[in-house]
């Protein structure tokens, strides 16, 4: 029997450990490689001008032929946003549930991706065999419908990956976490659990999504004007609850933008959203009805709740001007780094008299808290735990939680991107480290914005630039034209004429001296200009613009 030979198992993360987003886990079973999720991440502040960050998959490209499948746990961009880039390099079938694949296809259409991908729909109640590998699934709860976890059944035991999850005993769509299936997988013996850590720092149990619906309903009953709800477009559970509240209070619902309309359209068609006929109206038509019959669901061009909040607060939303009779529900939490902008916008709305409802009453997380993580460990009873999906801090707290339930500390692996855990005879150890990291995407450029470009953008952002151009005669060694000085982002030129004139004078002096001394090395001349000007400008302004001397030769 071939099963007598032990499966060789390796696990590593290409992203999603030590960071939020960029989720990508790799499982190698013998010669076969499986990728679970391929996410993206929003750029950090210091990544000036970068649009998206994705995992560096150079290592996987080298193993391209061994990759048998890509599994998607759910349709959030932190889990599928890397797919358009991945499929340019790696050809493997993609497995996802109905909604996940539908949203993936919509994303690929929007990005005008012309790659053909083979997809298979996951039925969570059925297993799939890929080569000699058996993979089973279990339904989870999360802030998007149709999310799953999965299990790879190896001869050393199962490898269980939770995806993002919470336990919601009163889910909005009635689709419950398949605890029974998960328990059965646990009964069969689990070698290693990879489990969501994003909310490990929160005590207790993450509340049900339906608690948000109750509060939204209260607001709708109470509101005498329009109710505008800003939320993540992918949170269909919450959209359903807003729709329900609107229907109950006899309001029509207008959707803020095309992106939202398309997602809602897909979800409705597939049966993930239930909207009575004639509920939706066009945003252009809301003024034709009394305000108290209007509800608006708002989201940004990429489905985020922050951009409509800011646009409406700044009166820069094309179709929606705030009124002092409006109630604005910010049904989301501010992501780290966004708090300032969110509170500023809420402030502006309140100033014009809009009632703003925000905070934990109208938002619950889609991720498991401390007690939920303990329940997960209890049901799965893994021999080893690899905390995933979180900053290092969160992974560490998850480790401590596991230890408190009795898992030995050395059975928990806190991984950095690329760290490989290898399993032999049911024992795990960290063996090697494969190359891993992140790739910055700016416009069409994938990975071409590196440290030098970012450093220059940072310098330019700080004090702007000052450009000095001069035309010199190659033979005459005389100044034929210039020096001309152009600045951007340094000083307001009309108020700084004297400064610019003095700068001009300094350049002319440096040039004349150099030309008299027959300097012919332009680079040293440029350095001379840069030094003299830099000193002068810093002395006068305490600023350090990027100085770019350009010498034209004739």
**Residues that are catalytic:** 196, 367
What burial letters (b/e) apply to 374-412, b meaning 16+ CB within 10 Å?
bbbbebbbbbbbbbbbbbeebbbbbbebbeeeebeeebb
Binding-site string for a second copy from residue 38 to residue 57, where x marks contact by CB under 8 A and - marks none: ------xx--xx--------
Q: Which of residues 388-417 bind a second copy (CB under 8 A)?
A: 391-393, 396, 416
# chain residues binding a second copy, by CB under 8 A: 67
Residues contacting residue 527 through CB under 8 Å, at least 6 positions apart: none
Q: Compute the least distance from the CB of residue 530 to a second copy, in Å.
A: 13
Minimum CB separation of residue 96 from a second copy in Å reads 28
Q: Per CB under 8 A, does 111 bind a second copy? A: no
Q: Judge whether 86 and 59 are in contact, CB under 8 Å.
A: no
Residue entry with tokens 């150890």: 429
Least distance (Å) between residue 44 CB and a second copy: 7
Of 293, 273, 297, 269, give the one whose Cα is nearest residue 283. 297
Q: Which two tokens stand for residue 102?
A: 């539908």
Closest CA to 388 of 416, 358, 347: 416
Stretch that binds a second copy, among 146-154, 232-240, 267-275, 337-345 (CB under 8 A): 337-345
CA 194/CA 437 separation, integer angstroms:
20
CB-nearer residue toward a second copy: 519 or 548: 548
Q: Closest approach of Cβ 333 to a second copy, in Å?
A: 12
Among 258, 336, 410, 518, binds a second copy (CB under 8 A): 336
The gap from C-alpha 410 to its chain's centroid, in whole angstroms, comes to: 31
Report the DSSP pairing between strands 9-15 and 419-424.
Answer: antiparallel
Cβ partners under 8 Å of residue 499, min gap 6:
491, 537, 540, 541
Instruction: Confirm or deny that 342 is annotated as ligand binding.
Output: no
**Which is closer to a second copy, CB of 297 or CB of 441?**
441
**Rounded distance, CA 105 to CA 123, Å?**
18
Q: Are 71 and 34 in contact (CB under 8 A)?
A: yes
Is 411 assigned a ligand-binding role in the annotation?
no
* Sheet order of strands, 252-255 included: 280-281, 252-255, 294-298, 227-230, 327-330, 355-357
What is the C-alpha separation between 520 and 137, in angstroms, rounded? 72
Q: Is residue 376 within 8 Å of residue 368, measured between CB atoms?
A: yes
DSSP state string for 470-488:
EEE-TTT-SEEEEEEEEEE
Residue closer to a second copy, measured from CB, 59 or 396: 396
Q: At its nearest, how many Å lie between a second copy and the CB of residue 336?
A: 5
Looking at residues 442 to 501 of the shown chain, list those that interact with a second copy (rule: CB under 8 A).
Answer: 442-445, 448-450, 452-454, 456-465, 467, 469-471, 480-482, 484, 486, 488-492, 495-496
Burial bucket for residue 237 (CB in 10 Å: 0-12, 13-18, 19+): buried
Site for a second copy in 416-435 (CB under 8 A): 416
CA dist 255 and 336 (Å) reads 27
In the complex with a second copy, the residue whose CB is nearer, 306 or 449, is: 449
Nearest CB to a second copy, comparing residues 299 and 487 = 487
Binding mask 290-329 for a second copy (x = CB under 8 A): ----------------------------------------
Annotated ligand binding at 363? The verdict is: yes
364 has binding-site annotation:
yes
Which distant-in-sequence residues (6+ apart) come within 8 Å of 391 by Cβ?
A: 18, 19, 20
Q: Is 410 annotated as a binding residue?
A: no
Interface residue with a second copy among 285, 288, 344, 433 (CB under 8 A) is: 344
CB of 117 to a second copy, least distance (A): 23
**Whole-number Å distance between alpha carbons of 138 and 124:** 6
356 Cβ partners below 8 Å, 6+ apart?
327, 328, 329, 330, 346, 349, 350
Give the per-residue contact string, 496-525, with a second copy (x = CB under 8 A; - = no).
Answer: x-----------------------------
Should residue 351 be labelled a site residue for a second copy when binding is judged by CB under 8 A? Answer: yes
The annotation places the binding site for Zn(2+) at 74, 76, 79, 142, 164, 389
The annotation places the binding site at 49, 51, 74, 76, 79, 142, 164, 233-235, 363-367, 389, 442
The annotation places the binding site for substrate at 233-235, 363-367
The annotation places the binding site for Ca(2+) at 49, 51, 442
* Residues in contact with a second copy by the rule CB under 8 A: 18, 44-45, 48-49, 336-337, 339-340, 343-344, 346-348, 350-351, 391-393, 396, 416, 442-445, 448-450, 452-454, 456-465, 467, 469-471, 480-482, 484, 486, 488-492, 495-496, 540-543, 546, 548, 550, 552-554
């Amino acid at each position: 029997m071939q099963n007598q030979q032990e499966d060789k198992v390796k696990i590593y993360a290409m992203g999603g450990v030590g960071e939020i987003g960029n989720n990508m886990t790799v499982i190698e079973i013998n010669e076969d490689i499986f990728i679970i999720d391929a996410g993206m991440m929003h750029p950090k502040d210091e990544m000036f001008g970068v649009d998206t960050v994705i995992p560096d998959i150079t290592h996987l490209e080298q193993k391209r032929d061994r990759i048998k499948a890509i599994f998607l746990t759910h349709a959030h961009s932190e889990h599928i946003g890397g797919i358009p880039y991945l499929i340019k390099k790696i050809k493997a079938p993609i497995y996802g549930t109905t909604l996940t694949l539908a949203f993936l296809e919509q994303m690929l259409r929007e990005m005008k991706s012309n790659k053909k991908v083979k997809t298979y729909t996951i039925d969570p109640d059925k297993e799939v065999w890929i080569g000699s590998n058996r993979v089973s699934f279990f339904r989870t709860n999360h802030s998007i419908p149709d999310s799953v976890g999965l299990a790879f059944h190896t001869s050393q035991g199962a490898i269980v990956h939770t995806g993002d999850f919470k336990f919601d005993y009163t889910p909005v769509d009635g689709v419950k976490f398949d605890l029974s299936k998960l328990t059965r997988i646990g009964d069969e013996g689990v070698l290693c659990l990879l489990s969501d850590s994003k909310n490990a720092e929160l005590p207790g149990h993450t509340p049900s999504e339906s608690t948000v619906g109750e509060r939204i309903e209260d607001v709708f009953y109470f509101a005498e004007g329009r109710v505008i709800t800003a939320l993540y477009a992918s949170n269909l559970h919450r959209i359903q609850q807003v729709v329900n509240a609107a229907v109950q209070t006899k309001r029509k619902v207008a959707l803020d933008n095309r992106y939202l309309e398309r997602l809602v359209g897909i979800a409705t068609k597939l049966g993930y959203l239930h909207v009575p006929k004639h509920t939706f109206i066009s945003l252009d038509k809301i003024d034709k009805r009394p305000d108290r019959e209007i509800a608006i669901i708002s989201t940004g061009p990429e489905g985020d709740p922050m951009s409509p909040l800011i646009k409406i607060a700044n009166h820069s939303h094309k179709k929606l001007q705030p009124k002092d009779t409006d109630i604005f529900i910010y049904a989301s939490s501010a992501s780290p780094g966004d708090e300032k902008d969110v509170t500023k916008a809420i402030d502006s709305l309140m100033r014009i008299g809009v009632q703003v409802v925000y905070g934990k009453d109208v938002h619950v997380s889609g991720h498991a808290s401390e007690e939920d993580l303990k329940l997960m460990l209890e049901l799965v009873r893994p021999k080893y735990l690899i905390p995933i999906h979180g900053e290092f801090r969160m992974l560490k707290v998850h480790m401590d939680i596991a230890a408190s339930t009795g898992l030995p500390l050395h059975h928990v692996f806190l991984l950095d991107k690329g760290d490989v855990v290898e399993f032999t005879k049911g024992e795990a150890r960290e063996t090697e480290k494969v190359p891993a990291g992140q790739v910055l995407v700016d416009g069409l450029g994938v990975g071409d914005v590196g440290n030098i470009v970012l450093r220059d953008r940072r310098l330019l952002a700080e004090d702007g630039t000052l450009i000095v151009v001069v035309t010199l005669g190659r033979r005459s060694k005389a100044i034929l034209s210039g020096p001309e000085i152009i600045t951007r982002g340094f000083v307001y030129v009309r108020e700084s004429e004297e400064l610019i004139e003095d700068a001009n004078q300094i350049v002319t002096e440096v040039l004349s001296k150099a030309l008299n001394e027959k300097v012919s090395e332009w680079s040293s001349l440029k350095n001379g200009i840069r030094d003299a000007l830099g000193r002068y400008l810093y002395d006068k302004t305490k600023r350090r613009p990027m100085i770019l001397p350009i010498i034209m030769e004739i």
